[in-house]
A and B are shown apart, each in its own frame.
Chain A
Amino acid sequence: MTGPTPGSPIADAATATAALEPIPPDAVPEAAGALPPEPGAAPRRREWLLTDAPASRAQAAWGRRYQAWLAFRRNPLAMAGLAVILVMLLLTLLAPLLATHDPGIQELGNRLAAPSAAHWLGTDELGRDVWSRLLYGGRITLGMVVAVVLLVAPLGLLVGCVAGYAGGIWDRLLMRVTDVFLAFPRLILALAFVAAMRPGVESAVIAIALTAWPPYARLARAETLTIRRTDYVAAARMTGASHPRIVLRHVMPMCMPSLVVRVTLDMSSIILTAAGLGFLGLGAQPPLPEWGTMIATARRFILEQWWVAVMPGIAIFAASLAFNLLGDGLRDVLDPKQR
């Protein structure tokens, strides 16, 4: 006995032990329709999704997604993270409706006002409404984070997996390039890059992405080195699959969980790097509200008018924490064995 194997998620309620027993060899009901049942029949749809013997690939795939969702739902922290992120996205998308003021309008007579009925979260050093700036700033900050992640994760994953899988000269070449990027101080490389281009949100995103991918490549390579020696990769080679196919379809999915965790841990540092660039005038340009830049400019008043810096700080904190919780939950769901 090698310890209890976790039961199959299929055996959700009644047949908890059945998953450990061999599947009964009796025939599978053929009539378990290939199409989803009528909408509105909620219990039947649930049954259709959770059936032990899906009749079609589509049904099996939807069943798997539903089970992943059920597993995810069992993790309250991950659900909290998801909820916070959804609320934030909703708020920023609805910013024009929810904002009480124009985020760019200055009201110099009302500088650094404390939170009040007129300005829910107070005003900043130029008399702009902090609440409205937070809402619009979320568009830029969260947009930058998402853009950086979308650039960085696939690039790092590809470089790492190719280097680890191909080995030899490719490994050495790709990893030395990675080392070069890793050796540069992050902010300085980003500075140089932005200085060469036009300062702005787009160049800040590219600059951050340029300095953020090497750790992902390192991570993916380390995972790939162990994965490529496994029998299932040898078996994939025995099917006659090409190397790109093996890397894309067999190796990369195995690297995803650790990558997802790493990405979510990096979210906050991406926001902070963006703030740093903004502070140096190389990121989001002044009238544009951006959470990091908002904190950076408010640092002079942190003791007297604390709300100016603290409000965007809370936003960054909440976003980072929510992303971390979500990432942890996602990692568990990505591994079918954990469910």
Chain B
Amino acid sequence: MSMPPLVPPLVEVKNLRVDFSSATGVTHAVRGVSFSLGKEKLGIVGESGSGKSVTGRALMRLLPASAKVRADALRFGETDILHASERQMRALRGGRIGLILQDPKYSLNPVMTAGAQIAEALRAHSRIGAKEAREATLNLLESVQIRDPRRVHDAYPHELSGGMGQRVMIAMMLASNPELLIADEPTSALDASVQAEILRLIEELVDSRGMALMLISHDLPLVSHFCDRVAVMYAGQVMEELPAADLHKATHGYTRGLLECIPSLTEKRPRLPTLARDPAWLAPRP
């Protein structure tokens, strides 16, 4: 991965800036973020307000109209996202890019069965009959390791547990065979045990299908567990980008501070160190 690739990377982001304007002024949500992504797993970590989700959404052009997006380059494969037509974007969203959101309770349609929603996703991207769609849906449910795909196929979202709902969500996103999976806090609403299972599932699927993964999360240790590279964001900028395995060698004060203020089960500390925010972190970076 260290050699510069000859083929252009799947995702290229150069100097991305996103501003939100409202009646009271302009908020700079993303202030010059650059990264590129091949067939690998990139973790984007940051606290609320760091601009990590906005970055992911800018890539799918899913931001509200009040957002002003500028970049030197914002490309997915050959598509220039800044200038693509809405039609091209629709082919990307839910086509070549899949998006998994935090809470399946809100991202699944409550009045459609899980199977119907997956079938709809399938039929949006390929011309297949109802019968084939059902077959393919069951296959997809199986591929996200649901033990009883037939039951889940006919279940409504409220009849499914959080973990099961998230599996259905993933199956829906796999329907179009995407090249990139953007997972925005995919497990924050789940229990720790289910959290690990879902992330392991995403990891397996990404590896076996040769997808790229962008995992957006606030949980630094968790992300480093499942990603190749980690970009740490603060106040709309990338503070530090490093291989996940070297996280314990992180040099930036913000990354170190984030790691240290987490309470530990092994080590007893009477007081938790708190993060001292250095104003220098806010300075624009090259």
B-binding residues in A (CB < 8 A):
1-4, 6-9, 11-12, 16-17, 19-20, 74
Would you list the 3 A-B pairs with minimal beta carbon distance, nearest first?
A16-B25, A7-B24, A4-B20
19 sample A-B contacts, Cβ–Cβ < 8 Å, listed by A number: A1-B29, A1-B51, A1-B52, A1-B53, A1-B54, A2-B48, A2-B53, A3-B54, A6-B23, A6-B24, A7-B24, A9-B24, A11-B24, A12-B24, A16-B24, A16-B26, A17-B26, A17-B27, A20-B49
11 additional A-B residue pairs with CB within 8 Å, beyond A7-B23, A16-B25, A19-B24:
A1-B29, A1-B48, A1-B49, A2-B53, A3-B53, A4-B22, A4-B66, A11-B25, A17-B25, A17-B26, A20-B27
Of the candidates B23, B24, B28, B53, the one having the most CB atoms from chain A within 10 angstroms of its own CB is B24
**Shortest distance in angstroms between A178's beta carbon and chain B's nearest beta carbon?**
28
Chain B residues near A2: list those with CB within 8 A.
Answer: 48, 53
| Cβ-based interface call for B117 (8 A) | no
Residue contact B25 to A7, C-beta cutoff 8 Å: yes
The docked-state distance in angstroms from the alpha carbon of A165 to that of B53 is 38
Cα distance A16–B52 in the bound complex, in angstroms: 22
Closest B residue, CB atoms, query A71: B23
Task: Identify which of B26, B48, B49, B52 gathers the most chain A CB atoms within 10 Å of its CB.
Answer: B49
Chain B nearest CB, measured from A20 CB (Å): 6
Could you tell me which residues of chain B, from 1 to 31, have a CB within 8 Å of some CB in chain A? Answer: 20, 22-29
Residue pair B22, A6 in contact (C-beta under 8 Å): yes
- Interface positions of B (Cβ within 8 A of A): 20, 22-29, 46, 48-54, 64, 66
A8 near B48 with CB under 8 A, answer no
Q: How many angstroms from the CA of A17 to the CA of B53 in the assembled complex? A: 19
Complex CA distance for A16 and B23, rounded to whole angstroms: 9
Count of A-B contacts with CB under 8 A? 44
Shortest Cβ gap from B45 to chain A (Å): 12
Chain B residues lying within 8 Å of A16, measured Cβ to Cβ, are 24-27
How far, in angstroms, from A1 to B66 measured CA to CA in the complex? 16
Contact between chains at B53 and A7 (CB < 8 Å): no
Question: Which residues does chain B contribute within 8 Å of A74, judged by CB atoms?
Answer: 23
Contacts of A17 in B (CB 8 A): 25-28
- Per the bound structure, the CA–CA distance linking A19 and B28 in Å amounts to 13
CB closest residue in chain A, given B277 = A22
Q: Which residue of B lies closest to A15 (CB)?
A: B25
* A9: chain B residues within 8 A (beta carbon): 24
The CA of A16 and the CA of B49, in the complex, are separated in Å by: 16
User: Chain A residues with Cβ under 8 A from B27's Cβ?
Assistant: 4, 7, 16-17, 20
Least Cβ distance of B41 to chain A in Å?
A: 21
- Bound Cα distance from A8 to B23, whole angstroms: 10
Contacts of A12 in B (CB 8 A): 24
Taking a contact as CB atoms under 8 Å apart, the answer to whether A4 and B24 are in contact is: no
Residues of A within 8 A of B28 (CB): 17
A10 to chain B, nearest CB (A): 9
Q: In the docked arrangement, what's the CA distance between A208 and B119, Å?
A: 53
A7 and B22 form a contact (CB under 8 A):
yes
Q: What residues of A have a CB within 8 angstroms of the CB of B52 in the complex?
A: 1
Q: How far is the CB of A54 from chain B (nearest CB, A)?
A: 18
CB distance from B107 to the nearest CB of A (A): 15
CB distance from A13 to the nearest CB of B (A): 8
Task: Give the residue among A1, A2, A3, A19 with the most B Cβ atoms within 10 A.
Answer: A1
C-alpha spacing A19/B25, complex, angstroms = 10
Query: Which residue of the partner chain B has the closest CB to A11?
Result: B24
Most A CB contacts (10 A, CB to CB) among B25, B49, B51, B54 go to B25
Nearest chain B CB to A155 CB, angstrom units: 35
Whether B50 lies near A1 (C-beta < 8 A) is yes
With both chains docked as a complex, state the minimum distance between the C-beta of B206 and any C-beta of chain A, in angstroms: 24
Q: How far is the CA of A257 from the CA of B51 in the complex (A)?
A: 32
Question: Cα distance A3–B51 when bound, in Å?
Answer: 8
B20 contact set on A, CB distance < 8 A: 4
Minimum Cβ distance to chain B for residue A8 (Å): 7
Distance of A19 Cα from B48 Cα, bound (Å): 15
Q: Which residues in A have their C-beta under 8 angstroms from that of B25?
A: 7, 11, 16-17
A180 to B9 CA separation, bound complex (whole angstroms): 68
Nearest-neighbour CB distance to chain A for B133, whole angstroms, equals: 34
Among A3, A6, A9, A20, max chain B CB count under 10 A is at: A3
Which residue of chain A is the closest to B218 with respect to CB atoms? A1
Q: State how many angstroms separate the Cβ of A62 from the closest Cβ of chain B.
A: 20
Interchain CA distance A268-B277 in the complex, whole Å: 57
Min CB–CB distance A114 → chain B (angstroms)? 49
Cβ 8 A contact of A8, one of B24, B26, B46, B66: B24
The answer for the CA separation of A17 and B25 in the assembled complex, in Å, is 7
Q: Are A4 and B29 in contact (CB under 8 A)?
A: yes
Residues of B within 8 A of A6 (CB): 22-24
Shortest distance between the CB of A219 and any CB in chain B (Å) = 23
Closest chain B CB from A226 CB (angstroms):
16
